[in-house]
Amino acid sequence: MADLVVYGTKMSPFVRKVEAALHEKGLDYDFEPINIGAMPDWYLEISPMRRIPTLRDRTAGKEGVAGTIPDSSAICGFLERKQPAPALYPTEAFAHGRALWLEEYADTGLAATGGFGIVRALMFPPMEGKAPDVETARDTWQNKMPRFFDYLEEQLGGRPFFLSDTFTIADIAVASQLLNFDLFAGPPDAKRWPGLASFVNTMRDRSCFTDNLAACREAISKVLAEPVDLS
């Protein structure tokens, strides 16, 4: 039994973000799945905003609220203090602020638009015996996501990562969202967003994401009878 346990579901980009940080820092952890459609009462007690993931540090508390942190950004901040090396947050003040901003941009902007418009539109209806809402997903991918891609392409500025040549929480947060869309639509158009497309292709194969993505592909295959075309 590891000291750390992550509660959530593998398809969540916020779970993917936390798992990536844990992997990069070489920290062992247990994973306990949570049904987000019917969260158990014990989980609602430790996650009052009804979100996933929540992390428990068993050295700080094994039951109830004690030892728990119910937010991906708070969890990653905790992990940085618990295991400082390798650092995922820049030490220089301005770079640190930019990393936090890009994390927020991903967690709020990308998640709200793409998460609801693509992932939920395709995955949730089949769980209720309905056809996936391909029309909404296609409209989101083609008409709502480009403004986010434009901004992220500019922020990359031809670099492999968002902040110079160092892999940071900014890259983890942005990749965690984009890889969710990649599971259904592939990377952004390389002709229009070459840097971002290259970033997604690189992140897809980075070891901190591969196990999570394999689990996601298996979950998708159980819900969608055939691949969807969002082009």
CATH number of the domain that residue 53 is part of:
3.40.30.10
Helices (H) and strands (E) in the chain, counts: 10, 4
pLDDT, position 132: 95
For the whole prediction, is pTM greater than 0.85? yes
Q: Is the pLDDT of residue 225 over 90?
A: no
Q: Is the pLDDT of residue 226 over 90?
A: no
Helix axes 93-104 and 72-82, enclosed angle (nearest 10):
150
With respect to residue 231, please indicate whether it lies within any of the assigned structural domains.
Answer: no
Q: Is the pLDDT of residue 228 over 90?
A: no
Tens of pLDDT, residues 103-112: 999 999 999 9
Can you give the residue range of the structural domain that contains 62?
4-82
12 and 78 belong to one structural domain: yes
With respect to residue 87, please indicate whether it lies within any of the assigned structural domains.
Answer: no
Q: Is the pLDDT of residue 49 over 90?
A: yes
pLDDT, position 164: 82
105 and 182 belong to one structural domain: yes
| pLDDT band, very low/low/confident/very high, at 222 (cuts 50, 70, 90) | very high
Q: Is the pLDDT of residue 86 over 90?
A: yes
Provide the domain count of the chain: 2
**Residue 40 class from Cβ within 10 Å (0-12 exposed, 13-18 middle, 19+ buried)?**
exposed
98 and 75 belong to one structural domain: no
Q: What would the mean pLDDT of 159-164 be, rounded to a whole number?
A: 94
59 and 129 belong to one structural domain: no
Q: Bridge partners of 17?
A: none
Picking from 37, 52, 82, the residue at the C-terminal end of a domain is: 82
113 and 22 belong to one structural domain: no
How far apart CA 96 and CA 94 sit, in angstroms, is 5
Tens of pLDDT, residues 165-176: 899 999 999 999
